[in-house]
């Protein structure tokens, strides 16, 4: 399934509010990510939300393909970006050797734990050789739901390293950062960057 129906329903109902809350792009992390890619590289964004990260990458001259799993949010992102935003569930990703980079900020954290290895393998297949992959997760020790009934896989750093290793990722780096999210509660974030080697 690779998605949680309750989580998708939340984002569908909250699409306008969620995408118009004024969230800034993750500039420093995007810059670090883009610095490892060739000029004008093709980047797939998964879970683009309001489109602010795609907007930033497009302004830098990259060929960005924004997607989101919720049609209502994809529609809002289209209005911001002025380009098509595809509705794509993670489990429907079937590209092969298509992208130089894949950006997945604060979205794979909603994939049921048992299905995350399959999604990471799909992302690995979708990248070109020497491609780069970024994702972020809310840290924890056991899967669960937040106050909005959204599902989270809440991984630990060690658990994530094991899952990435099983999917043949290389040069995996994980950074922790204190922050917050849509619920405005204190959150420890795990930022993961990994490579698909030739």
Q: CA 31, CA 45: separation in Å to the nearest integer?
A: 15
Query: With pLDDT > 70 as the criterion, what percentage of the chain qualifies?
Result: 99
Look up residue 92 and give its DSSP letter. G
Q: CA 161, CA 194: separation in Å to the nearest integer?
A: 10
Question: How far is C-alpha 14 from the chain's CA centre?
Answer: 19
- Picking from 100, 104, 34, 101, the residue whose alpha carbon sits closest to that of residue 68 is 104
Q: In the predicted model, is pLDDT for residue 33 greater than 90?
A: yes
Look up residue 18 and give its DSSP letter. H
Q: In the predicted model, is pLDDT for residue 23 greater than 80?
A: no
Q: How many domains does the chain have?
A: 1
Q: CA 85, CA 164: separation in Å to the nearest integer?
A: 28
| Assigned token pair, 167 | 């999917």
pLDDT of amino acid 1: 52
Is there a contact between 195 and 164 (Cβ–Cβ < 8 Å)? no
CATH number, domain of 28, equals: 3.40.50.150
Domain that holds residue 137: 5-196
């Amino acid at each position: 399934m690779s998605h949680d129906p309750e989580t998708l329903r939340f984002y569908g109902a909250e699409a306008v509010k969620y995408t118009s809350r004024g969230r800034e792009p993750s500039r420093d992390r995007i810059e670090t990510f883009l610095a490892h890619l060739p000029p004008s590289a093709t980047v797939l964004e998964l879970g683009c939300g309001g489109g602010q990260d795609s907007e930033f990458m497009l302004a830098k001259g990259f060929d960005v393909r924004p997607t989101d799993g919720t049609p209502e949010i994809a529609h809002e992102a289209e209005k911001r970006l002025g380009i098509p935003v595809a509705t794509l569930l993670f489990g429907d990703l079937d590209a092969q050797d298509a992208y130089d980079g894949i950006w997945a900020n604060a979205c794979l954290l909603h994939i049921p734990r048992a299905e995350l290895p399959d999604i990471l393998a799909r992302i690995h297949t979708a990248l070109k050789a020497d491609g780069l992959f970024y994702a972020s997760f809310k840290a924890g020790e056991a899967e669960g739901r937040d106050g909005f009934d959204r599902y989270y896989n809440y991984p630990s750093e060690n658990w994530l390293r094991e899952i990435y290793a099983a999917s043949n990722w290389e040069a995996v780096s994980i950074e922790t950062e204190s922050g917050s999210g849509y619920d405005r509660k204190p959150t420890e974030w795990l930022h993961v960057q990994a490579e698909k080697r030739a």
